[in-house]
Structure 1
Amino acid sequence: MRNRLFHRSGWPELSRLAVALGLSIAAGAALAQSNASGVIFGHLANPEGATVRIQNLDTGLTRDLGVDSQGRYRAASLPVGRYRVSVERNGQVAESRDNVQVTLGSGVDVSFEEGAASNAGAKTLEGITVTGNALPAIDVSSVDSRTVLTAEQLQKLPVARDVTAAALLAPGVIAGDSRYGNVASFGGASASENQYYINGYAVTNALTGLGFTSLPFDAIDQQQIFFGGYGAEYGRSTGGVINIVTKRGGNEWKAGVGMYITPQYFADSPRSIYRKNGQLYQYRANNKTSSMQYTGYVSGPLIKDKLFFYGAGDFTRTTGHTVGTIQAPQDASQVSKATKWLAKVDWNITDNNILEFTGLSDKTNTERSIYGYDYQTLQATQYLGTDKLKNFDAGPGSAPGGDVYIGKYTGYLTDSLTINALYGQSKTEHVRDLGYAGSPNCPWITDSRSNAPNTIVGCGLVNGTVLGPGAEDKTHGWRFDVEYQIGSHDLRAGVDNQTLESFSGQQYEGGYRWVYRNAGTVPGRPDIQPPPGTQYFVEKRLFQTGANVKTEQEAQFIEDKWQVTDRWMAYLGLRNEQFKNLNGDGQTYVKQRHQLAPRLGLTWDVFGDSSFKIYANAGRYHLAIPSNVAIRGASASTYYSEYYLYDGVAPNGEPMNLQPLGSRIYLNGEDGTTPDPKTVAAKNLKAYYQDEYILGFDKQLSTDWTFGAKLTYRKLLSSIDDFCDSRPFEKYAARNGIDISNASIPGCYLFNPGENNTFMVDIDGQGHLVPFKLTKEDFTSPAGIGFPDLKRKYYALDLYLEHQFSDKWYGRVDYTFSRSYGNSEGQLKSDIGQLDPSVTQDWDAPEIMQFANGPLPNDRTHQLKAYGYFQATPEWMFGANLSVASGRPKNCIGLDPVDAIQYGASYFECDFKPSPRGSKGRLPWTYQLNLNTEYRPLWAGTSQPLAFTMNVYNVIGKQEEVGIIEVGETGSVDADGHPVKSVDYQRPIAFQRPRYVQFGVRYDLSL
């Protein structure tokens, strides 16, 4: 439409309008809101006697604004949507513009440069849509790096119907390790370092930071993806931010229903997994799923212009079939029922006072009927039992689900003063109910005997740790901010508090783990002396954690968006954060105050018409310790080992007629008592934080084309992890003449890696705490191996070319060259898929950090993303989404020749030689093309309410490896003293999802 207007006979007038639309910085403090709203601003050539009226075309919300002496006006904290902007003089409309689109976190310039001659009569220029993807193409009022996807784009592009899939369209965003579930990594950071918001409230997983509470996909009005440079109102993230604003009701009743079918019959079979020696590890040819999703919504006015309602729901039933590995030969038939709903009420109390309430729910119930499986015949065998899960998937990084309730108030107290207040809370219950066909007592059985006549097999379904009873997460939080405009300054200050509570824990399936072994000596256990002639003995292990833990996060921020000149705008922000972590007894074990995070930005509107923008920003970003750390590290847990002789094995795999060997040994000091909170972490522990620098430009090539480039540099300056090595304390005690023969030293301490740290040590086991001021040199091992300095760096060059929707099509291409390198991924360790944010295996002792420097797991050197759609006819639309990326670095992790810390195959060494991080090459490049089509028949009505869709994902059908086992050795040595190679080294653990097809039908109507 815009293209047609620019070439018709009235083009001189409309070209002047285009210039007016481009004059954004000349409008004064033209600055964006980024939480859950946007801004309209502008400039009047003749401000005398003028008033600006802004009216929402869907809800009737109206604001009348004065104009300053320089002709500037600004309306902040506007709900996203369509608006009419009018200039009134002497009570009459002099000029107006309809269909001005306010997008999330963006500023829209609506200037009236023809106003001096408009008193003679009103002039209405309708149909001009001003969005982040149309005129003006460049938002010169922002200094951050973001992608905003509208509901229309999400509907027209071939992306899976979930938030993470949409986020992956943004440059610099990649899928996280498959073992963490459907999560993303931003700018080289680990996948637990992101924050997720819905209507301004954080819905991030309260326990680990992995995943988030989701919502009905069609309820998304706009999804904002920050991957750098965000302002002081955002914190608790060193990765990225996903901010979602939902749809709301308007003055017209509307409704719609939809159905989306993904049949397994149109899906390719996933690749079976083979070891590198050709041995079949997992048969997956029949591991397919089918899904049926029903959607619906209704919206409209409860009271016209005053009270509005919007409600939506997704109801999805997924059926599937999964054959397990040869190590766990099971055949599971799975039925999963996911229910998501959202209800939103908006109340325009007056034009100056808005109240909104959002309730949403995201719950999943899964039932798995489990059978044995015979890998010789590739057939299921006897029924074993049923595994029932609620808001808990088999994958550890699954979304938390649950219920969320949010209330928000916006008050436009004056033209210059706006306040926002928000309160929210959430609750999620996690349940896992294991039901067995045989004995109810089905412990974890492992048969590690060699040359035994028969393998001992238990009746367990999981054979590992399972979620303990009573698990749940709760959050509550509030924020309040005030915005005041004075002259060329737009000042904003606020408070942002959130409390996260979780009751969680793990235990062995069936209560215990039994490990059958060949009789012999046990390292470190001289008390284990089996009688001569004993062939086998058995080890009994108990592992049990469970605690109600809490994390309190508080923050205050202030910012000034200063219009230095007509073309230069400066952003000055400061965020002050406080973090407090409490253990299961309600005791504080880490308290971090005054974590100051400055944010600075600058934009230059080079030509003064929004056609060429150069921008730069720098900022510091902090991250709190996740709550999961307290479950085991700061709360009571029990972990012990016992050895027995046995005579016979019960049907459930348990040994019978036990005779004790030696004594019970508590591992890592976990004897069921709560550790002294003063001894859990280093004193004055610094927060996890990162600095970031961005320099970029955006340039219009024409009215339809825009291109740009951006340089990003990130450096992690402080990390928090645990170390599990008593030798530094022994060295310090010997140097300072301290007797620690009776000391109570926890198995592991939280600390800042690569730095000096001070710890409180109970030197006599009676609570007599003495500070041990350990220098970096104190952490050096007897062999002279010390901790390296912490390193995680990321740099990237992003290039893009975008064609705004005109001439029937829209398209965008992004290319990113980046490197993520160092000796620590951050909160996670994707090398081995370790799900212990901030308490990974890294930094446990200096030996394990040898040769750890190199390209990190989230490094993808080259990324190309291209997506768009083409409205071929009024009835037919076609879309495409292409993603190409270079592969992940590969490692060989193995045994150290000394293995002084007894960690087995955990070092960046293989064949007793250094094997530096990333030195084993790369996984293959990945290529994925998704295509879709939409047919809206004219015979269904002039408004074309009926739509038939078909999406084909991974059209090319490539199933490249995206994850492998990187541990190359077993941890033991052969008769010649050489490390034993692991048969599972480089075995795939994940491939690209096979090609599949989704069919859909939607019907929208006005009531």
Structure 2
Amino acid sequence: MKVQKYGFRQHRRTALAVALGASLAAGGVYAQSNASGVIFGHADNADGAVVHIVNQDTGLTRDVPLPADGRYRATSLPVGKYKVTLERNGTTVESRDAQVNIGTGTDVSFVAVAATSANATSLEGVQVVGTALPAIDVSSVDSRTVLTAEQLQRIPVASNVNAAALLAPGVVSGDSRYGGVISFGGASAAENQYYINGFAVTNPLTGLGFATLPFDAIDQQQILTGGYGAEYGRSTGGVVNLTTKRGGNTWKAGAQVQWAPRSLKANPRNIYYPRTSGSVTDGTIYQYREGNKTTDLLYGLYFSGPLIKDKLFVYAAADVVRQDKSEGVTNVLTQTAFDGPLKANHWVAKVDWNITDSNILELTGIGDTNLNDTKIYSYNYATNSRTRLLGSEHQKNIGTANSTPGGITYIGKYTGYITDSLTIDALYGHSLTKHVDDVSGAAGVTCPNIVDNRNVPAALKRVSCAPVQGNLIAPGAQDKVKNYRFDIQYTLGDHDLRAGIDNQTAESYGGLAVQGGALWTYSNPPASGTISGFPELAIPPGATEIARRQIFRAAGNVKVEQEAQFIEDHWQITQNWLAYIGLRNEQFKNFNTDGQVFVKQRHQLAPRLGITWDVFGDSTLKVYANAGRYHLAIPSNVAIRGAGPQLFERQYFTYTGVDPTTNAPVNPTPISDIHYANGADGTAPDPKTLSAKNLSAYYQDEYILGFDKQLGSDWTVGAKATYRKLKSIIDDMCDTRPIEAWAEKNGVEISPDAAIPGCLLFNPGKGNRFTIDLNNDGVYEDINLTKKDLGFPDLKRKYLALNMYVEHQFNNQFYGRAEYVWSHSYGNSEGLLKSDIGQLDPSVTQDWDFPELMIGSNGPLPSDRRHQFKAYGFWQATPEWLFGANLSALSGRPKNCLGVRDPDVYQYGSSYFYCDGEAPRGSRGRLPWTYQLALNAEYRPAFFDNNLSLKVDVFNVFNQQREQNIDETYQTADGTLSPTYGRPLSFSVPRSARFTVRYDFSL
């Protein structure tokens, strides 16, 4: 796709047809790195001819002599605008303008035919093709969407990377409890990879989120939704690939202010207890949210230019983002309220050095700091006002689920054009992210977490004196990532060969501990007098309330080493057929908190195959197909949660009263023994016993078949079918019964003090072999368990989709694209995450802990948004006025019911697909459709030479606020009916308006 600026000359259809007809004949074979692109093509009368390529901004020059067949390729070109000139015997024959996009080949051919049109340009008795580029890229086999800075500015979209990625087909929002994350093609939101200038910036701890940069600094954003080549790995969802802007030979600068006032934001919907009949809280307010609005302000500036003309360039940009509430306005949580500024500072600096025309060096620095200074108050629902100050919380780059984990990143990249056929690329990057989570209470005492599940009105609920509840990140938490790549590509006849290495090391110190030392949960005792899993529990006669104390702690240093080698070939089989053949070999090593390897996977082979057919030989109809295998490593978080020391204890008490300050029980008296969930008693498991032997990697197979068809000069239509099947995952099982049965069968006595891990990493849905010292005598038994022995069902996650689109290329006035996707994501495992309960424990979800948890688990998965319609575009009404629109309509997420199955031997509470009987996954219907329309208008006054921009964006124009996810937990942990089952957890974002004033100038 080529997007032209307003006022550019549109070339005639006759010229475009010839260009399209030449595209595959010109040799559409190419390869490129994930931060650059390619210009390729063909010229007649190649004798003595040279293609002269010049970057119009930086002066970077490449001369490519034409071989006898007239085909040429210029690989690893920095994205940008180029002038491509055909020269013969030192004389210019013809010049063309070309735009190089990220990861894309641009066909610039010089093909001569007999002049038959009165409007033809005559040169030595032939007609020279115009500069219009094909709308269909017949040289690619992947599925991608490329958004340029110009498009991102014209389309009404929120200023963040994931919001832009949602424009791509098959991409939907993830669960709100993970932050603003996204899901690709039925995969969980933790299975994507993000790159900036070729360096992976994905959160190494969980796979959720990424370091970001000023949105205005993005030059191009590529969204790969399937079929991507062997250079990409560590993703079974999708890839988001960003390149930053860079300096050129003209000094440029600019500034902008974006303002989204609180007064023009619609009130968020309040959340009420669901009407379940019979509950004291039935239909009453759960969370007051009408005032939960902020004024958002962004100040941005940039400058760029030449330090040495044609040689050395600089680009720098910075954003300061503030979310502030008006004086006296407080955002309300459930039983608390908060205020205080949310701050984010983003910057990027890039230096480009054209050492020579054959040697390029790029250096990039990125800063992403997120700060949250919050004061937290108790809240009175009777008066709808905050009351006493509970304390404050200071967070920096916080939250393993945060979509912008932050930090400082440095990237260096070298490109060398060794010969006309040989190019090398080398990259090294390093990032450091520090996480701070400081809490101080106003009470001056230790404030434990409090949960009140008693059946009493909200006004009588007990709350913690702590400013926040839940688990806090361990002091000193940080992530360090090192990544280096080396690629070499060589053109050999009709083959473009490329090979490379891609190695990454991620080190983290992290972990969580319960705020205030403990979590106290109040409840009414069950009528039976016992709680499943605590047979010794004896509730004293007359006791109307009990309390459960839960203590959790897990932290340590962990490391993941990921190495990969790849080789690929783009092979122009014939004039009309192009084949892609690739192979990626990956190795993963996970280290525990003691620096010992507990999972090692070698030779994970991932073949990638693709083919395109230019049906008529003129690039007006392309049919393509591809198949590939994609792997994931185990995230670092697994070592903290599963391979390090972890304490998770529970115990029940009665009490004589409640402390008026902390709301903790007074004189708690134990009525049960201590129960260690999954054996987590505070000791680290033996790394030899932690995982199954010869553990298979997490991987998925994918198949795509599609076509693209050009209609007239401006329209393109297409369709594709996608099928994905998750073949293997790694998760944990916490069931010791199969091991005990094996020991009994083989006459092995299990010692009472045997160090059997509470949970074991394994491959669900197949047989596994474990090594465990059952006698505590230093001798490890080889325990080979079949799938039948383990008792789990087959792993199942499948994704089937049909995508249809129509696109209108920009013709100086209008650009538009509309897509419809029918998809079905179904199975018994979401993958790395469990969005049913918002569990953030990649590869150690509760799904596979015990076979009973998997009963009824097969059905539509959380990402199953069956119908998706998206349309976006813009209209350049005049040189001064531009209007844009962005529409999406998506069907709702499936609803589940998770309850207690009797007997609940392992104390998992309301975690089963069982609610007064079987309740299979997705059997409780669907959430409603969500419709979102955004509109914008931009005015560029002619008397400012179009340098001044005044723009307004309105998001969710009709203020439709629909449920995005709900509480699917049917019962409390003690088995009583949950008063919050079916309660909305989030709604779509209310209507808002954003005003932007921007001024750009050059010297």
**Do these two structures clear the TM 0.5 threshold for a shared fold by scoring above it?**
yes
Q: CA deviation at 1:678?
A: 1.2
Q: Which residue of 1 is the match for residue 497 of structure 2?
A: 491
Q: CA deviation at 1:703?
A: 1.2
Structure 2 CA distance for partners of 1:429 and 1:971, relative to 1, 3 Å: closer
Trace 1:386-785 onto structure 2 (pairs within 5 A).
386-392=392-398, 396-446=401-451, 457-515=463-521, 539-641=548-650, 649-650=658-659, 651-655=661-665, 665-742=675-752, 743-780=754-791
CA distance in 2, matches of 1:30, 1:163: 30
Which of 859, 873, 881 matches 1:876?
881
1:209 aligns with 2:220: no
CA distance in 2, matches of 1:600, 1:220: 31
- Whether the 8 Å contact between 2:869 and 2:889 is mirrored in structure 1 is yes
Q: CA deviation at 1:154?
A: 0.1
Which of 329, 333, 340 matches 2:346?
340
CA distance in 1, matches of 2:161, 2:804: 24
* Residue-pair matches, total: 979
Which of 918, 924, 943 matches 2:922?
918
Which of 306, 310, 314 matches 1:301?
306
Q: CA deviation at 1:735?
A: 1.2
- Whether the 8 Å contact between 2:532 and 2:907 is mirrored in structure 1 is no
Q: Which residue of 1 is the match for residue 931 of structure 2?
A: 927
CA distance in 1, matches of 2:56, 2:926: 53
Q: Which residue of 1 is the match for residue 962 of structure 2?
A: 960
Listed as ranges, the gaps of 5+ residues in structure 1 are 781-786, 974-979
CA distance in 2, matches of 1:861, 1:322: 38
CA distance in 2, matches of 1:872, 1:746: 67
- Whether the 8 Å contact between 1:93 and 1:122 is mirrored in structure 2 is no
Greater alpha carbon shift after TM alignment, 161-170 vs 635-644 = 635-644
- 1:678 match: secondary structure: coil
Q: CA deviation at 1:37?
A: 0.7
Identical counterparts, % of pairs: 59
Q: Which residue of 1 is the match for residue 280 of structure 2?
A: none
- 1:501 match: secondary structure: strand
1:829 aligns with 2:834: yes
- 2:927 match: secondary structure: coil
- Whether the 8 Å contact between 2:29 and 2:495 is mirrored in structure 1 is no
1:841 aligns with 2:881: no
CA distance in 2, matches of 1:643, 1:272: 34
Q: CA deviation at 1:44?
A: 1.2
Q: CA deviation at 1:111?
A: 1.0
Q: Please list the CA deviations of residues 318-355 of structure 1 after superposition, one character each: whole Å capped at 9, or x if unmatched.
A: 12465445xx4111113111100000000000000000
- Whether the 8 Å contact between 1:30 and 1:109 is mirrored in structure 2 is no
Amino acid at match of 2:560: T
Amino acid at match of 1:670: A
Q: CA deviation at 1:649?
A: 4.7
- TM-score (normalizing by structure 2): 0.94
Q: CA deviation at 1:745?
A: 1.5
Q: CA deviation at 1:200?
A: 0.2
Q: Which residue of 2 is the match for residue 84 of structure 1?
A: 83
- 1:549 match: secondary structure: strand
CA distance in 2, matches of 1:494, 1:1006: 40
Q: Which residue of 1 is the match for residue 987 of structure 2?
A: 991
Amino acid at match of 2:1002: S
Q: Which residue of 2 is the match for residue 318 of structure 1?
A: 323
Q: Which residue of 1 is the match for residue 278 of structure 2?
A: none
Amino acid at match of 1:874: P
Greater alpha carbon shift after TM alignment, 458-467 vs 865-874 = 458-467
- Whether the 8 Å contact between 1:180 and 1:396 is mirrored in structure 2 is yes
- 1:677 match: secondary structure: coil
CA distance in 2, matches of 1:813, 1:32: 29
C-alpha RMSD of the superposition: 2.6
- 2:250 match: secondary structure: coil
Q: Please list the CA deviations of residues 735-794 of structure 1 after superposition, one character each: whole Å capped at 9, or x if unmatched.
A: 1111114332211111111100111112023443111101011123xxxxxx21111111
CA distance in 1, matches of 2:453, 2:216: 51
Q: CA deviation at 1:458?
A: 3.3
Q: Which residue of 2 is the match for residue 226 of structure 1?
A: 224
CA distance in 2, matches of 1:772, 1:835: 30
Structure 2 CA distance for partners of 1:448 and 1:50, relative to 1, 3 Å: closer
Q: Which residue of 1 is the match for residue 952 of structure 2?
A: 950
Q: Please list the CA deviations of residues 707-728 of structure 1 after superposition, one character each: whole Å capped at 9, or x if unmatched.
A: 1111110000001111111111
- Whether the 8 Å contact between 1:32 and 1:142 is mirrored in structure 2 is no
CA distance in 2, matches of 1:947, 1:189: 39
Structure 2 CA distance for partners of 1:2 and 1:437, relative to 1, 3 Å: closer
CA distance in 2, matches of 1:263, 1:5: 37
Q: CA deviation at 1:408?
A: 0.1
Q: Which residue of 2 is the match for residue 111 of structure 1?
A: 109
Q: Which residue of 1 is the match for residue 234 of structure 2?
A: 236
- 1:947 match: secondary structure: strand
Amino acid at match of 2:952: M
- Whether the 8 Å contact between 1:546 and 1:636 is mirrored in structure 2 is yes
Amino acid at match of 1:788: P
Q: CA deviation at 1:666?
A: 4.0
Q: Which residue of 2 is the match for residue 352 of structure 1?
A: 358
- Whether the 8 Å contact between 1:431 and 1:469 is mirrored in structure 2 is yes
Greater alpha carbon shift after TM alignment, 411-420 vs 853-862 = 853-862
Q: Which residue of 2 is the match for residue 977 of structure 1?
A: none
CA distance in 2, matches of 1:5, 1:647: 81
1:1005 aligns with 2:1001: yes
Greater alpha carbon shift after TM alignment, 770-779 vs 200-209 = 770-779
CA distance in 2, matches of 1:910, 1:240: 35
Which of 150, 168, 171 matches 1:170?
168
Amino acid at match of 2:291: N
- 2:696 match: secondary structure: coil
Q: Please list the CA deviations of residues 854-875 of structure 1 after superposition, one character each: whole Å capped at 9, or x if unmatched.
A: 1111011111110000011111
Greater alpha carbon shift after TM alignment, 210-219 vs 505-514 = 505-514
Q: Which residue of 1 is the match for residue 904 of structure 2?
A: 899
- 2:685 match: secondary structure: coil
Structure 2 CA distance for partners of 1:661 and 1:796, relative to 1, 3 Å: closer
Q: Which residue of 1 is the match for residue 274 of structure 2?
A: 276
Q: Which residue of 2 is the match for residue 783 of structure 1?
A: none
- 2:365 match: secondary structure: strand
Q: Which residue of 2 is the match for residue 55 of structure 1?
A: 54
Greater alpha carbon shift after TM alignment, 146-155 vs 633-642 = 633-642
Amino acid at match of 2:337: D
- Whether the 8 Å contact between 2:615 and 2:623 is mirrored in structure 1 is yes
Q: CA deviation at 1:209?
A: 0.3
Which of 375, 384, 388 matches 2:381?
375
1:890 aligns with 2:895: yes
- Whether the 8 Å contact between 1:338 and 1:364 is mirrored in structure 2 is yes
Q: CA deviation at 1:981?
A: 3.3
CA distance in 2, matches of 1:317, 1:136: 43
Trace 1:34-45 onto structure 2 (pairs within 5 A).
34-45=33-44
CA distance in 2, matches of 1:378, 1:279: 14
- Whether the 8 Å contact between 1:324 and 1:331 is mirrored in structure 2 is yes
CA distance in 2, matches of 1:111, 1:398: 43
Structure 2 CA distance for partners of 1:961 and 1:747, relative to 1, 3 Å: same
Greater alpha carbon shift after TM alignment, 607-616 vs 707-716 = 607-616
CA distance in 1, matches of 2:858, 2:643: 30
CA distance in 1, matches of 2:257, 2:780: 64
Q: CA deviation at 1:639?
A: 2.7
CA distance in 1, matches of 2:478, 2:236: 26
CA distance in 2, matches of 1:851, 1:187: 23
